[in-house]
Amino acid sequence: MGAERHILILGGTTEARRLAGELDALPGLRVTTSLAGRVAQPRLPAGEVRIGGFGGPEGLARWLREQQVDALIDATHPFAGTISFNAAEAAAEVHVPLLAVRRPGWVAGPGDDWHDVGSLDEAAEALPALGERVFLTTGRMGLAAFAHLGRLWFLVRSVDAPEPPAPPRMEVLLDRGPFTVEAERELIRRHRIDVLVTKDSGAAATSAKLTAAREAGIPVVVVRRPPTPEGVPTVADPAEAREWLDRILAGG
């Protein structure tokens, strides 16, 4: 690919780690992955790593300029939200090519009882009519949306311990995927779960809970993904991102 070129990956996902590993192994590339720092002990990718925010789109644009970034790849979580819009604004300002890597969302199949909602607040509003023992797998952020549901019991799974406000009747399970169908099936059985709440992350590593919920015949409240910036080219996996990057660095 010629002289050393600098690639910035906005990471935190399996796809970002895989892409960083593949690119870091190539000659002539300097690969930096930026992590938000919301997880205490993140899985670090290959190459250089920076942790923490940039200070909005202006700070990101400044970093792109100072670090002479040749291409920006947004491989953040589908629910990362603000950073994707910051990336689009910063890339446009500095004239750095931008690509988004977005894994496909989950799709309901035969036997699924899914309830589509637009936010955690809507999920909380839907819960009392669906069950009393909730398996909450939306992460440690946003528990405040469920804090008023004192009649319901929650099994909250997250990588790091959540902070208040949180539901008063709650058990916390600290764990990190991938998860197996067998393990998810046992969690649902042991805790007598009668409703599951999840974000549509689309990750294969955490999809086993959906199979277990289908088998158990329990409803699933699925929080839709937030909107993403318009006009940003998007691919579904690291292989397609590699093809895009080859074209960009070759001047195509």
Query: Domain extents for the chain?
Result: 5-104+227-249, 114-223
Using only the alpha carbons of the chain, give its radius of gyration. 20
| pLDDT tens-place string over residues 59-81 | 999 999 999 999 999 999 999 87
What pLDDT score was predicted for residue 204?
79
pLDDT (tens digit, 9 = 90+) per residue, 97-108?
Answer: 999 999 999 999
Pairwise CA distance, residues 176 & 16, whole Å: 17
Region 44-59: mean pLDDT is 96
CATH 1.20.1250.20 fits 5-104+227-249, yes or no: no
- What digits encode the pLDDT tens for the residues 186-221? 999 999 999 999 999 997 778 999 999 999 999 999
Task: Give the distance, in angstroms, between the CA of residue 4 and the centroid of all CA atoms in the same chain.
Answer: 30
CATH topology for 114-223 is: Rossmann fold (3.40.50)
The mean of the pLDDT values for the chain is: 94
Query: Average pLDDT in the 158-162 region?
Result: 92
pLDDT of 1 > 50? The answer is no
CA-angle at 179, arms to 175 and 181, nearest 5°: 135
Whether 113 has a pLDDT exceeding 60, the answer reads: yes
- Average pLDDT of 42-51? 94
Predicted model pTM = 0.90
Most confident of 1-10, 79-88, 121-130: 121-130
DSSP H helices in the chain: 14-24, 56-66, 82-94, 120-126, 181-190, 208-216, 238-249
Averaged pLDDT for residues 52-57: 96
CA 46, CA 49: separation in Å to the nearest integer? 8
Asked whether 48 and 31 are in contact (CB, 8 A), the reply is yes
Helix crossing, 56-66 with 82-94: angle to 10°?
50
- In one-letter notation, the amino acid at residue 167 is P
pLDDT for position 252: 52
SS3 call for 171:
strand
Amino acid at 19: L
